Structure 1
Amino acid sequence: MTPLPPVRLPTSLFVGRATELAELAGCVRRPPAVALLEGEAGVGKTRLVRELLRLPQVAARTVLVGACQPMRTPLPYGPVVDVLRETGHLLAGVADRLPPVTGALRPLLPELADLLPPELDRGDIAIERHRVFRAVRELLAAYGPTLLVLEDLHWADEGTQDLLRFLTSPPPPELSAVFSYRKEEGAALPGSGYRLLADARNSLLRLRPLEPGPVAALAADLLGTEVPEDFALALHHRTAGIPFVIEEVLREVRETGDAPRPTVLDLVDIPDLLRDTMSDRLARLGPTVAAVVHAAAVLDMPATEQEIGTVAGLPARRVGTALTRALAAAVLHETDTGRYALRHPLARQAAYICVPGPQRSRLHARAALMLAAAADPPVVRLAHHHRRAGELTDWVRKTLAAVDQATEVGDTALALQLLEDALVDDALPARARNTLAVRLSRVALNAIANSSTVERLGALLRDGSLVRAARGEVRLNLGRLLMNQAGRMELGQNEIEIAIHDLRDRPPLAARGMAALSIPSFGTRPVEFHLRWLDEAVRVLDGVRDQELVASVRANEVTALAQLGDPRMWSAAAALPESARSSRVRRQLSRAYNNLADAAAWLGHYGAAREYLRTGGSLLADADVPFLSMLATGTGLRLDVAAGRWDGLPTAAAALIDQAGDMGYLAADAHLALAWLAIARDDRDRASRHLDDALLAAPENAPVSLAVATGRLSIALARGDVAAAAVGAERAVGEVRNKGNWVWAAELTPWATRALVRSGRIAEAADLVAEYVAGIEGRDAPLATAGAELARGVLAAARGCQEEAVTHYAAAGEHYTTLPHPHAAASALEAAARCALELGDTATATRHLTTATTGFADLGATRDEARCRQIARRFRRGTPRGRKGYGDDLSPREREVVDLVAAGRTNRQIAQELYLSPRTVEHHVAKAMRKLGLSSRAAFEAGQ
């Protein structure tokens, strides 16, 4: 397979990079491999890559070289598309072997369309995006041993970054990739890409400035003479060892004709070096060359001779001569595709500054006119040129077109950035400001927004520039964004309530706000608040033909019913269609099913929850809404940890947390799942950290907040900190009472009951259990039913009613087994066995303890399993069997207590270890002392 034409290589001496070159070569010659080249502007990343391409081990490969530009490219995934556009000679040799999915590249590569398979039927954004990703991967794989080089990834848009992550996780078997970037530009891909490969074929090279020795060698080469040590040291000091700056300075030094001594460096103004040297060069090269360079700077992309001439306004015969002179002076350079550009972005900026303002506007206007005539006009660049030309109406129009294009292909990050950039521009007309603000709020709802988007929308509302209609919709969408992605429920609800007043003349849009306020789990307000708004939203639906609005309100209606455990949720859910023609309606249906899954998981309808997730996921495939997909993944993690599907869970949770970024609310379930897993494994410190993270991510989501409180209660009791547990229980129960939805207290109530019992407040514990049972009456919530039995068991044991406790604990175990929630089931049966031992019923104790031990063993909960086996060993030490009637002999439980007292345990420690109340322990100690004829506790400890 023939490689691309060779890249024109620099001629200056290559110094100070032998180690880095060897490491880079070693990485890429063992594909699949990813090499990341990090360094500041001008430090020599491009030169190192060019030296790599000269090595014999690279010569036999297909070499594809491209670069990102500081302006976003006209097509999605522009740098990769630009590289593939030049591979027609390669594609011709493999066209008959390409899989059908590569037909997805036809719209992006019209020049190669005849060589690609037929275009596939169009799908929604998510499908098209995934096809493009797969198609690029398949095309690169078809080219065989290939080296892909992409430079300046700090300018890559997020769509390109996502594509490269897909290509390199992992790369095709015969692909090596080299990506260069500037760390200071905040590139997102390199940091993530570096984690893609864990073996030796993954390399991160950080280029540092040159030391004085290599600087001297470089200076000698460029000046054509040996340089004194003091000159080399002064040059290093002045340039910080950055090769690009060194070369620029030395070119100026060489043009002076002076000998290389330190004083000559004073002739170069270092702070304004690039601007001054560019201005001087262009002045010396003459106005025709300057016009060509200015045009190249304005275009800000590699351009053909004709394109540069058109923008410069020069006749063709003069353009060629000027280009030749600009190339000879190294102001411009020729790319491997026969296009011309400034040799470095800093040089482009310096040349751009040299263009007088009025002339700059005319150049941008010509560039816009030229690009608009293209078969597929690059709307992003068109918008940029119109703005710089002062053509504001065209700028706004092309910006909106670029937003539409980016949204259509799923690059919502680009759409958000375009809108945010335009909205901070003081030149934006007032009317357009309203239009773009509304568009920004709409795009943000279905994207993974970031904090800057939230801040921008808030600023638009505060500055008073929006008219009432636009302000109402922006505020409404900001409120929904705050709740759905940022987890700031109270603030979001406040914004929506205000928005509803601004939208009083637009009832359908106001109804969306009412529906958004109807979700009971959002915020701290009572359930009645949410149901009141739900009624308002449903009333607006009378006579409404907007199917998306109807689907939105119905989705929130079924969500509210499900979150409350209202049995009517089943008929409401059954009435939901499983698909729709409109992608907007499908998006609302997907939200409904994912909300149902979330609610069903909190209720304990685990099987139904998984079915709803599957239905919601199938709808998401046709209506890409990233934040919904992430929330669905979180629900799945909660289901997995409850069902004992623990293998791989930490890795999946960590991936979701990483994906959420600064929208931590989307990862709250992942933190919660990790906390539950750590609690089950008795890793209290890790559990506490994850609980803190979950609450930080979703402080105003009621089920999450109560789950965090429950986890903290269990940890406090395990550590014997009864005071902290009691206070935490009071606060959490108060939160439930305020919210008015007891089904969310299914796991809290048993632990709160334990906390109250352990602190000696048995009467309060009884009141809590009674209140909880009344609160879940009539609700379809299996987890709450199990929690009620468990709480009754805790209360009965505290009252000394062990037989009743065994019954309740065993019933709880059966309920948890049915869900299934194996760890909770095993824990409940272990408690039942302990109470059976209190009664001397070793047969019942053995049955429950055996089941619990097996359950813990199946889960890999080794500490729980070991504890159960230890209990079994204790009561099998030849102790009397049967129920009650031990006379003067010690019962099995009394013997356990005596053994622990003799070991020096306090009553509180014994209660903690045996899961008894301190009062029950005191009772056993007193009976044992009486039976053994001992007068003091010290006699136990003395071994009498």
Structure 2
Amino acid sequence: MLGTVENRSVSPVFVGRAGEMTALTEALSRATAGEPQALLVGGEAGVGKTRLLEEFLGEACSQGAVVALGGCVEIGADGLPFAPFSTALRDLRRKLPDELAAAARGQEGELARLLPELGDAAGPEPYNEDSTARLFELTVRLLERVAADRTVVLALEDLHWADASTRHLLAYLFRTLHRGRLVVVATYRADDIHRRHPLRPLLAELDRLRTVRRIELPRFTRTEVHRQLTGILAAEPAAALVDDIFRRSDGNAFFVEELVVCQESGCASGGLSESLRDLLLVRVERLSEDAQKVARIVAEGGSTVEYGLLAAVARLPEDDLIEALRAAVNANILLAVPDGEGYRFRHSLVREAVSDDLLPGERSRLNRRFAEALEADPGLVRADERTTRLASYWYHAHDAAKALPVVLSAAVEARKRHAHAERMRLLERGLELWDDVPEEVRASLRPIDYADAYPACGCPETTPLRYLDLLAEAAVAARLCGERERALKIVKRALRLLDEDADPSGGAGGKDPQRAAWFWTERSKLMSNLGRGDGWAELATAQDLVRGLPPSAVHARVLAVAAGWGMLHAPGPESLAAAERAVEYARLVKAEAVELNARLTLGGLMVDAGDIEAGLREMHAVLELARESCVRHEAGRAYVNIPSCLEAVGRSREAVRIAEEGLRYSRECGLRDNEGWVLTNLVESRMSLGHWDEASEGAHRLHRIAYSTKPRGGAHLRRAHLAWLRGELSTAAEHLAQARDAYGKHDPMVQYLLPLAQVQLGLAAGHGRLADVRTGLADAARDGFPVGSQRYAWPLLLTAATAEAEARGLPSAEEGRAEALELIRTYAKRLATPVPVWQAHALFVGAELARAEGRDDPDRWAETVVALGPLERPYELARARHRWADALLARGGHRDRAGELVREAHMVAVHLGARPLREDLELLAARARLSLRAPVAAEPEPDDEGFGLTPREQDVLRLVAVGRTNRQIAEELFISPKTASVHVSNILGKLGVAGRGEAAALTHRLRLLPEVPA
């Protein structure tokens, strides 16, 4: 009886889970229809997650879907990087070799970081934040392509063991997967997710995504336990047995299986303890000594142990080993893995119990034997797992001298796979081991072998690896995996050590100023990224440390970073000089990546300084070199900066062409974050060209794909700007607030600050809050406008000047008007006009200031229109035509020319959807009796009663416009207050306005009265 039960401890009948199975099969149907699905299945250990997944995968296969299964493993410092994805992709490659090869074509080098079978991993690029995002994007694209014509189910088990890189990739996949016939199902053990478990934040994040469905498996009811027992025993169980097992298992499916085996084998009568650990160990303890020994070895070897490695560690005769394995498999304790010659526990709870039962010395001895076996024959395990597993074995063997070199080698391999989180934890493990390693072992380690991120500061290759080198590596890895607080702590620790080691007479940086400068530069980045400042103080310290030292890679890097900071915050001669020195130093020390970075910055600063063509040539040269050298980060940055510079000098059509090319490049290379930056600039240039509908679509797409905060801020800013120009003020205000939140307050750059201020001023003007317009301009321009900021400053001044002109004549606007106009004029005089587009804006601002002062001049507006004509700025041109027509009509005569201007401007306003401008033009046309259609006959001269106002109503309107009450109007016109009230109501109705304030504003804007007394 025992043999039968042991072979059938799993019920052949799938019990319960009808609702959960329905949810999974419905997701499969939706995916088959082309809508990708993402599901998370959670439940406590032993509740039946694996059985549910097996049943679902069987159903998926029966419907023709291709299934790829991968599982997380417990190994290394924080798991094996990308283990479940690597296993699933390997499974997919085995089932669809041609399709996967076609989907990966052209990106095999990058995707080999996940699936080594695709070829050699691409050589490492300089450290940057794009590397991991690029790998993630290419992985998503690969899955989308494979699932384009067939349904694919990607199943990932045991997320509670997932390494950080796997968690990040899964989150990216769930956020960005939008097409393909793909189902992604991931399982996790819910009872392991304590408050500080690393999976907990991911689950919270995924819960906020509407595209992710979460399924929680409850325990079985008594009825379901009864059905499970019936399946296991192949007979109707006694009611007492059902009650007893249900009580003791509490409905946990796995515990039911274990209890029924114990019950039928008679172990329960032997006084089986109620504790979980004893329950899980009881069947192991009934095995032979050899089988128990093998089980203990497999438990300590990892989630799966290869047969050859197991044989080397067990040191049993082969026949004895096979018999021991057969006994463990027959007892349903071990299983042979289906895709290789290895073994694993049928359930991880049993493995954990067996591992916990090992004595401390026994555990260390087993790990040493695993490590020695693997060192003797590295081919015993898959190549992509070898170093990580060896590092884990030596570490748990408590042999620091053996562990340190291999831990550092595993960190290098993690870096090559862009698994920066695992790299950081391995490096921290190396730091932990450092003091326990003999000096002669440490002296044998070289930075060239283990310190990829940190330049050797000109030291010979024979220089031993230092503790500071590992701190630098760990800091970079922490920053790249998003743990910036941890990175900042590491950097501060390194700077403290440098200070402690300082020569009292050596000044800042002590004996090693270059290393100190490197850490201060890294600290600058982190302070900016964490929103704790702009990072300049730290950069200034770094520059002081390297000043006067011979050229080095560190010196070049410090200058390049300082120049880049200056380009964004303070473009000018100092930043230009820093960029030139950075290029020179980088060439001297042959730091090619730093040179490309500095040259690109230099080109942008040259454009800002007015050397436009030379600057653009330099930037295009960098782009070409970066593409040839496959330095994708700098190529992507060039595709961001070149369109930005072209837009800054008014060459919007050319900017659109380069940006569209940059979008294609970013998508091909998987540079998703870079794609967001390029799209931000593309939307801006399309707005300038009057392609507002395309710009709106681009802004919505940018909002969907933006992976980091500032591109999301750019999406909100562009949507706010468009909504403001189209008269959707509440929508604009919402997006403006979200843009401010995304950009933050600790590092206000001109490229964000001034466009935000412009929209803020426009909204204040739209609501009639002129005081807020004036305050907003003063705040935005408090420190003046730096070199190269004219692209943002001129539109800001134009918005402020227009608001002053529109409010002319309103009593509430008179106080402080002169000072406000003088402030705008002062700023305008100081602002450069290096190219025609900003020369035209200067004319526009001057014309608006004259209008605000009551000196509206048709000739000024004619000059502005002529300047704007060839610049492909349809919205600004339509506004200037509107104002010119208004000025002509105010002077009398020129009706034909005014009519042409109004009609041309109205056509543009209608096409753009610029409602405020369209309504102003329609009101002007109504007042002047101008047709908005092309004339076929002479237009009649207007009568004296604009909007049908009688002479008495015009008298009343004149007094309303200067703020008189009904009683004051009655007194001045010698009529009763009631009659005055009737006149005011009639006027409001004829003008189509809601109140006296709007009537006054309309009167001044459209000059409904020839003269309004002050």
Give the TM-score normalised by structure 1. 0.78
- Correspondent of 2:614 among 563, 571, 575: 571
Q: Does the C-alpha gap of structure 1 residues 671 and 327 become closer, same or farther in structure 2, counting only changes over 3 Å?
A: same
- Correspondent of 2:398 among 386, 390, 394: 390
- Correspondent of 2:793 among 717, 742, 745: 745
Structure 1 unaligned regions, length at least 5: 1-7, 928-944
Q: Does the C-alpha gap of structure 1 residues 215 and 595 become closer, same or farther in structure 2, counting only changes over 3 Å?
A: same
State the SS of the aligned residue for 2:432.
Answer: coil
Q: Does the C-alpha gap of structure 1 residues 574 and 76 become closer, same or farther in structure 2, counting only changes over 3 Å?
A: same
Farther off after superposition, 248-257 or 28-37: 248-257
Question: Over residues 805-857 of structure 1, what are the superposed CA-to-partner deviations in whole Å (9 max), with x where a residue is unaligned?
Answer: x4445555565564434334434433444444433454344223222221122
Contact 1:303 1:340 in 2 (8 A): yes
Shift of 1:623: 8.2
Contact 1:580 1:586 in 2 (8 A): no
Partner of 1:498: 541
The CA distance in 2 between the partners of 1:844 and 1:242, in whole Å, is 87
Farther off after superposition, 591-600 or 447-456: 447-456
Partner of 1:938: none
Q: Does the C-alpha gap of structure 1 residues 319 and 890 become closer, same or farther in structure 2, counting only changes over 3 Å?
A: farther
Partner of 2:682: 636
Is the aligned partner of 1:718 residue 2:770? Answer: no
State the SS of the aligned residue for 2:355.
Answer: helix
Partner of 1:423: 428
Shift of 1:664: 1.5
Q: Does the C-alpha gap of structure 1 residues 28 and 782 become closer, same or farther in structure 2, counting only changes over 3 Å?
A: same
- Correspondent of 2:908 among 843, 846, 855: 855
Is the aligned partner of 1:708 residue 2:717? Answer: no
Structure 2: which amino acid aligns with 1:149?
Answer: A
Q: Does the C-alpha gap of structure 1 residues 407 and 424 become closer, same or farther in structure 2, counting only changes over 3 Å?
A: closer
- Correspondent of 1:872 among 925, 933, 958: 925
The CA distance in 1 between the partners of 2:266 and 2:951, in whole Å, is 110
The CA distance in 1 between the partners of 2:105 and 2:789, in whole Å, is 53
Farther off after superposition, 501-510 or 44-53: 501-510
Contact 1:333 1:341 in 2 (8 A): yes
Q: Does the C-alpha gap of structure 1 residues 580 and 741 become closer, same or farther in structure 2, counting only changes over 3 Å?
A: closer
- Correspondent of 2:42 among 29, 34, 39: 39
State the SS of the aligned residue for 2:366.
Answer: helix
Structure 1: which amino acid aligns with 2:641?
Answer: N
The CA distance in 2 between the partners of 1:105 and 1:585, in whole Å, is 17
Farther off after superposition, 349-358 or 615-624: 615-624
- Correspondent of 2:818 among 747, 751, 763: 763
The CA distance in 1 between the partners of 2:369 and 2:111, in whole Å, is 25
Structure 1: which amino acid aligns with 2:539?
Answer: I
The CA distance in 2 between the partners of 1:104 and 1:522, in whole Å, is 33
State the SS of the aligned residue for 1:579.
Answer: helix
State the SS of the aligned residue for 2:624.
Answer: coil
Shift of 1:712: 0.9
Partner of 1:376: 383
Shift of 1:84: 5.5
The CA distance in 1 between the partners of 2:241 and 2:616, in whole Å, is 84
Q: Does the C-alpha gap of structure 1 residues 808 and 693 become closer, same or farther in structure 2, counting only changes over 3 Å?
A: farther
Structure 1: which amino acid aligns with 2:831?
Answer: I
State the SS of the aligned residue for 2:69.
Answer: strand
Q: Does the C-alpha gap of structure 1 residues 542 and 857 become closer, same or farther in structure 2, counting only changes over 3 Å?
A: same
Partner of 1:930: none
The CA distance in 1 between the partners of 2:223 and 2:265, in whole Å, is 22
Shift of 1:558: 2.0
Partner of 1:268: 274
Q: How many residues align?
A: 881
Question: Over residues 605-659 of structure 1, what are the superposed CA-to-partner deviations in whole Å (9 max), with x where a residue is unaligned?
Answer: 3234335546766876898766544422322232234434444656654554565
Contact 1:44 1:207 in 2 (8 A): no
State the SS of the aligned residue for 1:39.
Answer: strand
Q: Does the C-alpha gap of structure 1 residues 252 and 726 become closer, same or farther in structure 2, counting only changes over 3 Å?
A: farther
Shift of 1:287: 5.0
Q: Does the C-alpha gap of structure 1 residues 724 and 314 become closer, same or farther in structure 2, counting only changes over 3 Å?
A: farther
Question: Over residues 900-935 of structure 1, what are the superposed CA-to-partner deviations in whole Å (9 max), with x where a residue is unaligned?
Answer: 597676664346557849xx89984449xxxxxxxx
Question: Over residues 194-246 of structure 1, what are the superposed CA-to-partner deviations in whole Å (9 max), with x where a residue is unaligned?
Answer: 999x9xxx88351331364456536755794325998688668xx5x554566
Structure 2: which amino acid aligns with 1:762?
Answer: R
Contact 1:596 1:612 in 2 (8 A): yes
The CA distance in 1 between the partners of 2:653 and 2:468, in whole Å, is 47
Shift of 1:801: 1.7
Structure 2: which amino acid aligns with 1:423?
Answer: E
Is the aligned partner of 1:801 residue 2:855? Answer: yes
Q: Does the C-alpha gap of structure 1 residues 536 and 444 become closer, same or farther in structure 2, counting only changes over 3 Å?
A: farther
Structure 2: which amino acid aligns with 1:47?
Answer: R
- Correspondent of 1:317 among 316, 319, 323: 319
> After superposition, where does 1:550-699 map in structure 2 within 5 Å?
550-562=595-607, 564=608, 566-576=609-619, 577=621, 578-580=623-625, 583=629, 587-588=633-634, 590-592=636-638, 594-613=640-659, 627-647=673-693, 652-653=698-699, 656-657=702-703, 660-661=706-707, 663-698=708-743, 699=745
State the SS of the aligned residue for 1:734.
Answer: coil
Question: Over residues 97-132 of structure 1, what are the superposed CA-to-partner deviations in whole Å (9 max), with x where a residue is unaligned?
Answer: 97495697699899x99xx9x979979888998887
Partner of 1:775: 830
- Correspondent of 1:335 among 313, 337, 347: 337
Question: Over residues 467-515 of structure 1, what are the superposed CA-to-partner deviations in whole Å (9 max), with x where a residue is unaligned?
Answer: 75544323313424655xx384844222222233444556432232233
Farther off after superposition, 906-915 or 123-132: 123-132
The CA distance in 1 between the partners of 2:595 and 2:338, in whole Å, is 56
Structure 2: which amino acid aligns with 1:376?
Answer: A
> After superposition, where does 1:883-898 map in structure 2 within 5 Å?
none
Is the aligned partner of 1:171 residue 2:180? Answer: yes
Question: Over residues 58-94 of structure 1, what are the superposed CA-to-partner deviations in whole Å (9 max), with x where a residue is unaligned?
Answer: 2765544332334489997543543454578856xx8
Is the aligned partner of 1:210 residue 2:219? Answer: yes
Shift of 1:707: 1.0
The CA distance in 1 between the partners of 2:365 and 2:537, in whole Å, is 48
- Correspondent of 1:437 among 446, 459, 471: 471
Structure 2 unaligned regions, length at least 5: 1-7, 126-130, 436-464, 502-511, 808-812, 932-938, 962-983
Contact 1:583 1:623 in 2 (8 A): no
Is the aligned partner of 1:549 residue 2:594? Answer: yes
The CA distance in 1 between the partners of 2:571 and 2:107, in whole Å, is 51
Partner of 2:439: none
Shift of 1:731: 0.7
Shift of 1:799: 1.6
Structure 2: which amino acid aligns with 1:858?
Answer: H
> After superposition, where does 1:245-260 map in structure 2 within 5 Å?
none
Q: Does the C-alpha gap of structure 1 residues 457 and 881 become closer, same or farther in structure 2, counting only changes over 3 Å?
A: farther
Question: Over residues 378-405 of structure 1, what are the superposed CA-to-partner deviations in whole Å (9 max), with x where a residue is unaligned?
Answer: 2333333333233445545445544544
Farther off after superposition, 812-821 or 381-390: 812-821
Q: Does the C-alpha gap of structure 1 residues 556 and 217 become closer, same or farther in structure 2, counting only changes over 3 Å?
A: same
State the SS of the aligned residue for 2:155.
Answer: strand
Shift of 1:568: 0.8
Shift of 1:583: 3.9
The CA distance in 1 between the partners of 2:777 and 2:110, in whole Å, is 60
The CA distance in 2 between the partners of 1:188 and 1:350, in whole Å, is 28
Partner of 1:846: 899
Farther off after superposition, 379-388 or 618-627: 618-627
Give identity over the alignment, percent.
Answer: 21
Shift of 1:745: 0.8
The CA distance in 2 between the partners of 1:340 and 1:773, in whole Å, is 77
Aligned-residue CA RMSD in angstroms?
5.1
Give the TM-score normalised by structure 2. 0.73
Structure 2: which amino acid aligns with 1:638?
Answer: E
State the SS of the aligned residue for 2:563.
Answer: coil
